[in-house]
Chains A and B, each alone.
Chain A
């Protein structure tokens, strides 16, 4: 399902038009990012968003053969909750 379909379905469920829903989702992403800057975000029944720091490392460039120092970076990770995990398990079992 792509973004458009998702917004349409969501608008249907909440009872708003798609334009407003799109705006709300954008706002939500903004607040999500704001929240994530401080600490991890757990949504019960769904999963946990967490910002993790990846350390700097030395790699060898595949084409040039140069040794490169890749700087440290912050990455957003997602871990599904156990309830969601069980649901997927059930689905595969069926």
Chain B
């Protein structure tokens, strides 16, 4: 039913906004709408900013059926007014639903009744034997079936304990993954079967063909990414364990050295495999050099300025070198001592203020270095290049 007071209400709102008398507002509104009407009849088209577009559309004659009599009647050609609101106005009208946006519907959304979540609860590594024990895999399944059954989803929890698995060394990490994969897929299939059994028990009347191969395939497709995630987490944990293990070893070596940061750096260098094997180990050094010789050399260190907190004594001049084009101290230190890090001693020994900018023909003296600690490698020239 048309509300006769609509225009009056609109006039009230309008005059309160413009602060003009109601009589003027009424006149303005009447003129406004009658002008739209007239223009529409005359031009068949009118566009008003903020409101929208009115158009006269010609409708051709067509046949229809009288609803009451059932006779065929002909609707003669006429004109219809079409209105399409302005963008801003329609946006304002739609403000309550503004936040909605189109969503892509996943196909077969309703065909996948089973949602399975697995949580790898705990993975433990025993340090000595590198035992990896997968102690608990919880498979949490929720069934969402037809609409009738959606109201009463069936939950099922299955807890499976797996046998502990032994790893021999770090290299067998990949083996572990393979084994775990097999193990887990076996488990998941078990869970599926178990689940399906209970399903059949409960819903035999409603869904007799539930254990179709198709359904099983669907479930497997659901489980596959899940399986991948579990394996990834497992690999991460194992990787993190070994990382932590090697760091522990490093700490062990650090304890024997001095507390300075530098020694830590050097000792890490030692444990890293990138160091050339040609470096003689401290044990060998102890055999080759007698204790007295070491002390003699150490006594020499008094003559020279010593690197503060350095891991090596400076005990003499090893070699004198004239800088050529293209050479730098890092490379030279690698050549002379077998370690790039020791170039700091060269910089210190020659009191070079800017190691990145050394003039040609500058004469550099390479200090003879003696480790303060027996665990440190003795600097030795690199054999090849």
Contacts and interface: CB of A to CB of B under 8 A. Distances in A.
Interface of A: 1-3, 6, 9-10, 13-14, 24-37, 39-48, 51, 56, 58, 66-78, 80-81, 84, 87-89, 91-92
24 contacts: A6-B48, A10-B32, A10-B35, A13-B31, A24-B18, A25-B50, A28-B28, A29-B89, A33-B93, A37-B93, A40-B3, A42-B2, A42-B6, A43-B6, A48-B2, A67-B107, A69-B104, A71-B97, A71-B101, A74-B93, A75-B90, A89-B79, A91-B79, A92-B77
Interface residues of B, number: 54
Given A31-B17, A40-B3, A68 B10 contact: no
Contacts of A87: 37, 41
A27 B83 contact: no
B349 interface: no
A13 B28 CA distance: 9
B104 A74 contact: no
A51 B81 CA distance: 17
Given A71-B103, A76-B52, A77-B83, 16 more contacts: A3-B47, A6-B36, A6-B39, A6-B46, A10-B32, A28-B29, A33-B92, A43-B7, A45-B34, A46-B34, A46-B36, A68-B104, A69-B102, A69-B105, A71-B97, A92-B77
A56 B104 CA distance: 13
A78 B47 contact: no
Contacts of B32: 10, 25, 28
B49 to A, nearest CB: 4
B33 A76 contact: no
A80 B48 contact: no
A42 B9 CA distance: 10
Interface string B104-139: 110100000000000000000000000000000000
